[in-house]
Structure 1
Amino acid sequence: MFVRKAVIFDLDGVLIDSLDAHFAAWTEFWRRRGKRHTRKMFDDIVATATEETLKLRNRTFGTNIPIRQGVLEREKIFHHYLHKVRPYPGAHELLKALSADYRIALATSTGRKLTRYLLNKFKLTRYFDAVVTKNDVTRSKPDPAIYRLAARKLGVRPRDAVVIEDAPIGILAAKRAGMKVIAVEQTFPRRKLAKADVVVRSIRDVRLREAGDA
């Protein structure tokens, strides 16, 4: 029988569709420096923290952009493309249904300020009992720190929480934290989500009982 007490959501790629906005922001960031940023390059870093992406691309392009400075600039550029961001169909409905019976948290690699803005913009704030962002931990996914902290904030043991993720590194972080994982096939193909306990096509197909039986 399914006895999970809490559900922890990732944000980008799970509740909101921000891929086009992030791609546009990274493309402009590198265009300002005379570098060509391709879709393939973007696909390789989807779900990777901005700091880690900058370290990687500094090596790729032979640049030496200070990480903190680059993060702030990239976030400022991203704000120009917020019109491309939208919630996934079914996100509100799922959160509303689950919040009646479960403790709900958000664990995202997005920064605190932008996370707060997006939650307010799409009227999602009211569903969450706890919100954990990259500013609350020192190590990013696939390190389990962000999911362990989310569980602590909810007052539940990791084994009593199920995570909704869209990316391989997020799945790995949740599994390392000792949690069940339902992956949504909204960002990556099913074959890349194999480490999840359950894989569904979209957020509209999430059924928590399936994770409990996995």
Structure 2
Amino acid sequence: MNKEIKIPAHIEGLIFDVDGTLADTMPTHYLAWVKIAEQNGFEFPEALFYEWAGKPTTEVTALLNERFGLSMDIETTSAAKEEAYLELADQVAAIPLTVDIAKAYHGKLPMSAGTGNIKHLTAHSLKAIGLEDIITTIVTVEDVNHPKPDPETFTKCADLMGVPYEKCLVFEDGEHGITAAKALGMEVIDVREHLETV
């Protein structure tokens, strides 16, 4: 079991963000966005991409339109971005820090995934890192009316696991997810702080 993170004794359920927390998908998502940017004649700064980490593709498209004075169609652009991602998806790798925890607590604590991504990409990521049979309770952006930083994603995760909010531990790498978890009184581990020392 990973020695960097210990699960407190009072915790009864684990919730994992996926992109950037369990699966090292963020560089791949960024490359997909770079392709879209090239097709639409603008540059998407990498720092801005990470600032918007955890936001759904449709919302990122709208924000790009607003930031750069573009008029990209939300649905068409989002679909093109997801297609570009799937073409690169074989590059996705596991993040051992959190994947090891998920495997170690399989069958011991309820676990779920709460993500701002869509179902088929989330399923692909979990399969790519070998967790498709370990984390089977999944809440995606398609399952909520209000994505992160609204707490609805994690509310649904906890409810599906049957675990009180204050007894949930959330693993996150994005500010929006951290905000959402804290709003519910959940404990949060910012995996970025641990990954920097691994």
State if a TM-score over 0.5 links the two structures. yes
- The alpha-carbon deviation at position 87 of structure 1 amounts to 0.6
2:171, 2:191 within 8 Å by CA — same for their partners in 1? yes
Q: More relative contact order in 1 or in 2 (CA 8 Å, sep 6+)?
A: 2
- The alpha-carbon deviation at position 129 of structure 1 amounts to 4.4
- The alpha-carbon deviation at position 162 of structure 1 amounts to 0.9
1:109, 1:140 within 8 Å by CA — same for their partners in 2? yes
Counterpart amino acid of residue 136 in structure 1: D
- Indicate which of 13, 31, 35 corresponds to 2:38: 31
Q: Deviations 1:39-86 (Å, cap 9, x if unpaired)?
A: 233233233221221111101221222212221111011112113211
1:103, 1:154 within 8 Å by CA — same for their partners in 2? yes
1:49, 1:109 within 8 Å by CA — same for their partners in 2? yes
Match of 1:165 in 2: 172
Counterpart amino acid of residue 20 in structure 2: G
Match of 1:151 in 2: 158
Q: Does 1:135 align with 2:142?
A: yes
- 3-state SS of the aligned residue for 1:169? helix
- Indicate which of 102, 115, 129 corresponds to 1:95: 102
Instruction: Give the TM-score, by structure 2 length.
Output: 0.89
Q: Which runs of 5+ in 1 are unaligned?
A: 186-199, 206-214
1:96, 1:127 within 8 Å by CA — same for their partners in 2? yes
- The alpha-carbon deviation at position 204 of structure 1 amounts to 9.7
Alignment of 1:69-108 (within 5 A): 69-108=76-115
1:58, 1:65 within 8 Å by CA — same for their partners in 2? yes
Match of 2:3 in 1: none
Aligned identity (percent) is: 28
Give the 4+ runs in structure 1 shifted more than 6 A: none
Change (3 A) 1:103 1:203: farther
2:23, 2:126 within 8 Å by CA — same for their partners in 1? no
Count residues with an aligned counterpart: 191
Match of 2:187 in 1: 180
2:53, 2:176 within 8 Å by CA — same for their partners in 1? no
Counterpart amino acid of residue 61 in structure 2: L
Match of 2:194 in 1: 201
1:163, 1:180 within 8 Å by CA — same for their partners in 2? yes
- Indicate which of 66, 69, 86 corresponds to 1:62: 69
Counterpart amino acid of residue 178 in structure 2: I
Change (3 A) 1:90 1:40: closer
Q: Distance in 2 between matches of 1:157 and 1:46?
A: 27
1:90, 1:203 within 8 Å by CA — same for their partners in 2? no
Q: Cα RMSD over matched residues? A: 1.9
1:145, 1:177 within 8 Å by CA — same for their partners in 2? no
Q: Distance in 2 between matches of 1:8 and 1:40?
A: 26
